[in-house]
Amino acid sequence: MQVKFSTGRTYDAPQVLEIDFDLYSDDLDLTTVRFSDASRRISGTVLVLGLEANSLDIGRAVLREYDAGRYLEVL
């Protein structure tokens, strides 16, 4: 599944995270979510709870992990 999440921030351009993930069945297990941030030229992966990946809060969950530096950059 793919979603776009506007953070309300502006860097080189308005920051919109493009998020790609699979719906996950176990709400309490961690699942890997891929994201791309064109405004900062960063792509990576983060871990979020399955519950977050299955909800409308996926954008906030990815941003939380990204802001905290808990992501792996993908080149």
Q: What pTM does this model have?
A: 0.91
DSSP H stretches of helix in 1-75: 50-53, 58-67
Name the DSSP letter for residue 13: S
pLDDT computed for residue 46 by the predictor: 97
Domain ranges of the chain: 2-73
Q: What residues contact 36, with CB distance under 8 A and at least 6 apart?
A: 17, 18, 20, 42, 43
Q: What is the pLDDT of residue 59?
A: 95
Q: Which residues neighbour 20 within 8 Å (Cβ) at sequence distance 6 or greater?
A: 1, 2, 33, 34, 35, 36
Tens place of pLDDT for every residue, the chain, 75 residues?
Answer: 899 999 999 999 999 999 998 876 677 788 899 999 999 999 999 999 988 888 778 999 999 999 999 999 998
From residue 67, give the alpha-carbon distance in Å to each of 60, 70, 72: 10, 8, 12
